[in-house]
Amino acid sequence: MNLLQGKTALITGASKGIGRAIALRYAQEGANVAFTYLSSVEKGQALETELEALGIKAKGYRSDASDYKAAEELINSVLADFGTLDILVNNAGITQDGLLMRMSEEQWDNVIRVNLKSVFNLTKAATRPFMKQKSGSIINLTSVVGIRGNAGQANYAASKAGIIGFTKSVALELGSRSIRSNAIAPGFIETEMTHELGNKEEWLNNIPLKRGGAAEEVADSAVFLGSDMSKYITGQVLQVDGGMLT
């Protein structure tokens, strides 16, 4: 359908899981795709080749979104290599689960830094070019855990709840420049991360659709929020959760 034809998107943490699915869907819809990876070098290089085979311009950058200076350098590199930036997808994230009584300061700091600070870093760095062109779509990946909380994930829930507040504040600040800011809250999505959960059946039983979601289904919502079909939507959190929080 070429819903993103002519647009350039930057997707963080795209070497696997939901980020990878978004990168592929964006390329299928005609977008040029810049993306980041950090530890998964081989997967990042393979994705770049796969995206280019779809007939669009693609480039992977080994970059740490949680590093403020690196985020600025990344945005400058994307603008230099692609000439423009239209969509920013803040997807990079980690989990370091544990009950609060046993959670270390390091576990708390790591998750907040990677999940929440990275969203601030990239969004701030992209704000100037977005304001200059008076357009842009910011899409932040949060989680249903950021809405309802989850035992054993106080750090992760706090980071994802913070993303929601940040998303809405940015929508209010930048809306007058036709810059949109929205969030996607996935539920139980079948990825490498959820495969490690020990209570999978308990999660599935609480989902009205009685199944886990696919990364591609989250990617479809990212296409919608990145495209002109959602040009009058900002400050919203789109739950892709099979009805889990209904």
**Mean per-residue pLDDT, 162-189:** 98
Q: What percent of the chain has pLDDT over 90?
A: 91
The reported pLDDT for the residue numbered 192 is 72
User: Which residue is catalytic, options 26, 37, 61, 156?
Assistant: 156
Instruction: State yes or no: is 232 an active-site residue.
Output: no
Q: Is residue 14 part of a domain?
A: yes
Query: pLDDT band at residue 191, thresholds of 50, 70 and 90?
Result: confident
**Mean per-residue pLDDT, 186-200:** 76
Sign for the pseudo-dihedral over CA of 89, 90, 96, 102: negative
The reported pLDDT for the residue numbered 197 is 62
Q: Is residue 3 part of a domain?
A: no
The single-letter DSSP state of residue 53 is T
Query: Chain-wide mean pLDDT for the chain?
Result: 95
> What pTM value is reported for the model?
0.96
Q: Is residue 136 part of a domain?
A: yes
**Dihedral (Cα; 118, 109, 93, 236), 10-degree rounding:** -60
**Mean per-residue pLDDT, 58-76:** 98
Q: Is residue 155 part of a domain?
A: yes
Is 222 annotated to bind a ligand? Reply is: no
pLDDT tens track for 99-137: 999 999 999 999 999 999 999 999 999 999 999 999 999
Is 157 annotated to bind a ligand? Reply is: yes
Within a 10 A sphere around the Cβ of 60, how many other Cβ atoms?
A: 23
Sequential DSSP letters for 122-190: HHHHHHHHHHHHT-EEEEEE--THHHH--TT-HHHHHHHHHHHHHHHHHHHHHGGGTEEEEEEEE-SB-
Is 159 annotated to bind a ligand? Reply is: yes
Q: Taking a C-beta distance cutoff of 8 angstroms, is the pair 72, 10 a contact?
A: no
Is 161 annotated to bind a ligand? Reply is: no
Is 23 annotated to bind a ligand? Reply is: no
Q: What percent of the chain has pLDDT over 70?
A: 97
The reported pLDDT for the residue numbered 89 is 98
Contacts of 55 (CB under 8 A, 6+ apart): none
Indicate if the pLDDT at residue 195 is higher than 70: no
Q: Angle at Cα 43 formed by Cα 41 and Cα 49, nearest 5°? A: 105
Task: Specify the number of domains making up the chain.
Answer: 1
Range of the domain at 211: 8-240
Is 9 annotated to bind a ligand? Reply is: no
Q: For residue 67, what is the domain's CATH number?
A: 3.40.50.720
CA pair distance 153, 150, nearest whole angstrom: 6
Is 160 annotated to bind a ligand? Reply is: yes
The reported pLDDT for the residue numbered 18 is 97
When mean pLDDT is compared across 39-53, 172-186, 193-207, the lowest value belongs to: 193-207
Q: Is residue 245 part of a domain?
A: no
Q: Is residue 151 part of a domain?
A: yes
Q: Is residue 246 part of a domain?
A: no
